[in-house]
Structure 1
């Protein structure tokens, strides 16, 4: 029987952040196709606890604790001429487990989730290789550099990652990107696109979990007059931190000037020191990690997503839409979702006055806000259900030769 080796940079469970949501659904689907052997990294007690769900799905597994300090990973990167993203996720233990698994099990497919794990594909492996890059990481680091963030380091990382992404594209039978925009961007950056098979596998949403009819609004928010605005995400992720800081420092003073009872809620794990310091701003609450974001979304009058840098598809946007909430977002945050401005959400550049005008158009017209939210939920149900999103995966794994290139 054919078996699959699945390699991920993080334990897929619990699926409580964007990358883990995607990897958990991919792993579950792959396990329904064939026995799967899982190699991944753990960084926290939560990750290690998630290993029990991996164990339940996998024929075998290796979960390696990632304890390498970033300084050491950076030194290794400089000495080896590699991206920090690779040296940070290099493990001799995991490499040995991969080699043994391939030697003793009938592995016919290696599925790599995230480019950091491509380094574990043996040069002499003759089976099928599928690489899910999700989005173009090299472009993200270039974006950081262009924004003036650690310019030398991020420029170097972007440049070296682009070489690794191209190497993987030529090594893989199928290279997966999360959206048509990301696929086009990736293809445009290749020096040689011959024999590169790029396919799209979008992100999905569990609309039974993100269901406004099954969620009670958070009691703290619902007990106050508002209006309430919510921004969710992993808050030590630089684009999320930057967006939250912009909302607090630039937009919020403009909006609250005429709406003193309004409240802005920043909801998500690991808020940085810079964010925590803004928790004293009138009307702003930094919640940090919460058991469930759904009650916060349910209690919001509007979800704001003012990202300046974004790659792939933003789960936070799909989650809000699935909860039938009106969303005001920047064009960057809308990337990869084919919704219509004015029908499913409202686009707005990151300008405080313009953002305020868009928000006012919703808070002063509840009927418009409700119509926008209802259309948003229906869009997610129609276009981003997980079963539909994962349907091409069987073809990627089982198609042979040239047929693989037509599987999507």
Structure 2
């Protein structure tokens, strides 16, 4: 047994802001694979929140992996969380995920179990790490949430609230970087951004662990294409994601209002499919627009990706690595995306995907050039899948975690 595995054999406390089952949205996918990886090294005790009946229904699956667990219902109204945040001078993101019950469970677990390391998934959960805890603390921020709220404010959305949230979250992120033995970001770009926002970046151990993909599950021959799509004339464009997440909603509305009309002037039967749970009222209102289908939640997103002539990811605001992009690439579909959506994935334009600024005429032109060139779409799709196989397998992505749990520095790891 090597040093890394021996270091963490007694126990790990894993705190996540959502139940890491089922792995059907970006943050849950990462947390799910992170938990499974941690369970290779030691008994893992899991504290997390449930937000739906679907979350509560998977408690048995969590129990099969976790040595013990605590799932707390997150039912606090956003208005109440906002009032608490103002009174406590804290970010709404923290008060929304504060639970006295979970706090008690964490302290009891630390008192009763031999916990060597606390692994925190998402900055909202850092509030549960006791200041006097003597073991290692590893925090996976994924991306820089404070910068996301600042970008919302810069875009004119609830300026005062988002500016306040960004400012207070930046303060919390600074505290967490100082409190943790290692702080993980999802891409080099996010890590570089985080360093620029810290007052003393040299004191923080900032590491990068990217997102992976299950390329056996997301495979071009794993499922047949959705018949409702493949049976009708196209081309068909598919956008996937959690559709009450503001960047996804914004991107889908932009595609409907700006890009699709340009595409339909050239291809009158072009269809745009929005696939994902909880579409907002603004999206539902567009379901009767020519060429638009708002599917909402579906049992399996893969048939819709498989039926796509092109997967769109026209995100205007994006943090970290987009799972929707990796999933489409793994299924050998050509992806047309903005530079924002491409962040953190080192693929090559015109080889593995098509990257274009969020300009409707330019983006439609990139698609037309690919579509009219014969086998270009298939070639890009095949190259995309090979790229994912070569660079984004989960076991390879999470390999550095073992050394972080052991307390090894990057320099020591590289020298080994």
Is the TM-score greater than 0.5? yes
Q: How far does the alpha carbon of each residue in 1:278-311 deviate from its partner, in whole angstroms, 9 at most, with x for none?
A: 0000111000000111111111110111000000
Correspondence for 1:378: 386
Correspondence for 1:339: 347
Shift of residue 195 of structure 1?
2.1
Equivalent in 336, 346, 349 of residue 357 of structure 2: 349
The total of aligned residue pairs comes to 406
Provide the C-alpha distance between the structure 1 equivalents of 2:355 and 2:202, rounded to a whole number of angstroms. Answer: 37
Correspondence for 1:253: 261
The residue correspondences of 1:202-351 to structure 2 (distance < 5 A) are 202-351=210-359
Q: How far does the alpha carbon of each residue in 1:241-290 deviate from its partner, in whole angstroms, 9 at most, with x for none?
A: 00000000111111112211111101000000100110000111000000
Shift of residue 407 of structure 1?
4.4
Do the aligned partners of 1:399 and 1:407 also contact (CA within 8 Å) in 2?
no
Correspondence for 1:149: 157
Equivalent in 5, 10, 15 of residue 2 of structure 1: 10
Shift of residue 388 of structure 1?
0.4
Provide the C-alpha distance between the structure 1 equivalents of 2:411 and 2:121, rounded to a whole number of angstroms. Answer: 19
Provide the C-alpha distance between the structure 1 equivalents of 2:348 and 2:358, rounded to a whole number of angstroms. Answer: 19
Correspondence for 1:170: 178
Equivalent in 191, 199, 202 of residue 207 of structure 2: 199
Provide the C-alpha distance between the structure 2 equivalents of 1:133 and 1:179, rounded to a whole number of angstroms. Answer: 11
Do the aligned partners of 1:110 and 1:128 also contact (CA within 8 Å) in 2?
yes
TM-score by length of 1: 0.98
Three-state SS of the structure 2 residue aligned to 1:97 is helix
Three-state SS of the structure 1 residue aligned to 2:266 is coil
Shift of residue 79 of structure 1?
0.5
Equivalent in 117, 129, 132 of residue 109 of structure 1: 117
Provide the C-alpha distance between the structure 1 equivalents of 2:108 and 2:266, rounded to a whole number of angstroms. Answer: 65
Do the aligned partners of 1:396 and 1:407 also contact (CA within 8 Å) in 2?
no
Shift of residue 404 of structure 1?
6.7
Do the aligned partners of 1:179 and 1:202 also contact (CA within 8 Å) in 2?
yes
Shift of residue 406 of structure 1?
4.4
> Do residues 17 (structure 1) and 3 (structure 2) align?
no
Provide the C-alpha distance between the structure 1 equivalents of 2:305 and 2:402, rounded to a whole number of angstroms. Answer: 34
Three-state SS of the structure 2 residue aligned to 1:235 is coil
Do the aligned partners of 1:6 and 1:27 also contact (CA within 8 Å) in 2?
yes
- Distance 1:75-1:407 versus aligned 2 partners, 3 A rule: farther
Do the aligned partners of 1:229 and 1:264 also contact (CA within 8 Å) in 2?
yes
Q: How far does the alpha carbon of each residue in 1:178-214 deviate from its partner, in whole angstroms, 9 at most, with x for none?
A: 0111111101110111321001111000000111022
Correspondence for 1:34: 42
> Do residues 120 (structure 1) and 160 (structure 2) align?
no
- Distance 1:42-1:279 versus aligned 2 partners, 3 A rule: same
Provide the C-alpha distance between the structure 1 equivalents of 2:412 and 2:256, rounded to a whole number of angstroms. Answer: 47
Q: How far does the alpha carbon of each residue in 1:165-187 deviate from its partner, in whole angstroms, 9 at most, with x for none?
A: 01000100000000111111101
- Distance 1:116-1:405 versus aligned 2 partners, 3 A rule: farther
RMSD, aligned α-carbons: 1.1
Q: How far does the alpha carbon of each residue in 1:36-66 deviate from its partner, in whole angstroms, 9 at most, with x for none?
A: 0000000100111122111111111100011
TM-score by length of 2: 0.96
Unaligned stretches of 5+ residues in structure 1: none
The residue correspondences of 1:49-64 to structure 2 (distance < 5 A) are 49-64=57-72
Shift of residue 365 of structure 1?
2.0
Do the aligned partners of 1:175 and 1:198 also contact (CA within 8 Å) in 2?
yes
Equivalent in 72, 86, 89 of residue 78 of structure 1: 86
